[in-house]
Amino acid sequence: MCADPRGATALPDTTIKNTSGMARLVLKFGGTSVADLDRIRNVARHVKREVDAGHQVAVVVSAMAGQTNKLVEFCREASPLHDAREYDAVVASGEQVTSGLLAIVLQDMGVNARSWQGWQVPIKTDENHGAARIRDIEGSFLSERLEQGQVAVLAGFQGVAPDNRIATLGRGGSDTSAVAIAAAIKADRCDIYTDVDGVYTTDPRIVPKAQRLDRVSFEEMLEMASLGAKVLQVRSVEMAMVHGVRTFVRSSFDDPDAPQVGENGLPIGTLICDEDELVEQQVVTGIAYAKDEAQISLRDVADKPGVAESVFGPLADANINVDMIVQNISPDGKTTDITFTVPEGDFERANKVLEDNRGVIGFQNLEGARDVVKVSVIGIGMRSHAGIAAQCFRGLASKGINIRAITTSEIKISVLIDSAYAELAVRTLHSLYGLDG
């Protein structure tokens, strides 16, 4: 999502030098950035630019665009019920190819580079093959190589599980790998190179006037990532916030030899950082939307203690995430209607879980809808400003947009609306909060 006037005044350099006078950087390149050898050569020029500037550089790469999908499909064709450990062995090979090719190209350019796989570092994960979580990274292995002047090119998306086998981190896991490595080696910054030049106030395809943010707080970015913005993976933002890893989103398609700073003196892109680094705090930072939502309503549920647990307990046991929840009490106080949202991909499974527990829950009817969208207003300035929600509701009402459900937090307001009104709602709210620039 996001550019606002933040950062327009004089701000400190986003590259913090360590005591040796150089910065330690982690550069991460996604699948579109390394889609073929020409793009890998372009990536190598970005890396060489930082090396020539005297920085210590570790690089994390994804598989070439489309390769992971092909490998996943091979596994499915081999056996619909394939072993998750062998699945990881197959799909992790995409990053291995990319890291080796980038190291070869860098070496050809005269850069001292070497590729390393997740198990060699090692990046230790839990035992959940296919969707593992990082438990620990011993940073000394990489730090020693960086101090010796080597560029470490690392395969993202992977680590080693307690069973000593390769484990993958799930889709988008290379972002998480990069941030975790940055934390482990105490990097000054983690640069996430992607196919966009930063985080915008909303999707520029819907709102051409959307602005790129110079800076955004960890909390805001976490909300944006979880509410529909696809720039960064949610787990990577969580990790960056916990470990205080300053993260920079920038485009790999910018000319590596062109000036790397904008008119305001900052690198071109978006810095994700602690709230204390924001010189100006806009009330609203951005508008997010998520189309992968589905609504479920249980009608005439007995209103008694434990009814909520009887509904949401089985869904939790089935690993189905529930988001927006609305409960209405009937006039006689004996029954209630419960409405909530689940990921669209879990809609059918959630319906089956609820039907299987109909006798325990005691609902009369189950209704559902897939033609819904969640639109969210996000901004840390909302903590200290009243009336933001009222503005949102008034603005949507003026366009004839009905709200099905509402959830709020200190820095977020989310509304569930009919999908037909998604773009109108985003454009309306973007203008309403003065984000058009």
Rounded to whole angstroms, how far apart are CA atoms 235 and 179?
Answer: 10
Q: Does 410 carry a binding-site annotation?
A: no
Residue 119's contacts (CB-CB under 8 Å, 6 or more residues apart) are: 158, 159, 160, 166
Amino acid making up residue 349: R
User: Can you say how many angstroms the Cα of residue 47 is from the centroid of all Cα atoms in its chain?
Assistant: 23
Q: Does 433 carry a binding-site annotation?
A: no
Q: Does 151 carry a binding-site annotation?
A: no
Q: Does 74 carry a binding-site annotation?
A: no
CB 25, CB 55: distance < 8 Å: yes
Q: Does 219 carry a binding-site annotation?
A: no
Number of CB atoms found within 10 A of residue 405's CB: 20
Q: Does 275 carry a binding-site annotation?
A: no
The DSSP line for 128-193 is -TTS--EEEE-THHHHHHHHTTPEEEEE-SEEE-TTSSEEE--TTHHHHHHHHHHHHTT-SEEEEE
For residue 6, give the nearest of 258, 235, 272, 351 by alpha carbon. 272
Q: Does 194 carry a binding-site annotation?
A: yes
CB 273, CB 62: distance < 8 Å: no
For residue 190, give the nearest of 272, 257, 264, 119 by alpha carbon. 272
Q: Does 48 carry a binding-site annotation?
A: no
Q: Does 29 carry a binding-site annotation?
A: yes
Give the burial class of 300: count Cβ atoms within 10 A of its Cβ; 0-12 exposed, 13-18 middle, 19 or more buried. middle
Q: Tokens 């327009």: give the residue.
A: 8
Amino acid making up residue 300: D
Q: Does 73 carry a binding-site annotation?
A: no
CB 397, CB 357: distance < 8 Å: no
Q: Which residues pair with 405 in a beta bridge?
A: 416
Rounded to whole angstroms, how far apart are CA atoms 60 and 37?
Answer: 16
For residue 206, give the nearest of 431, 25, 34, 19 by alpha carbon. 431
Q: Which residues pair with 272 in a beta bridge?
A: 216, 247
Q: Which residues are annotated as a binding site?
A: 28-31, 68, 95, 194-195, 200, 205, 230-231
Q: Which residues are annotated as a binding site for substrate?
A: 68, 95
Q: Which residues are annotated as a binding site for ATP?
A: 28-31, 194-195, 200, 205, 230-231
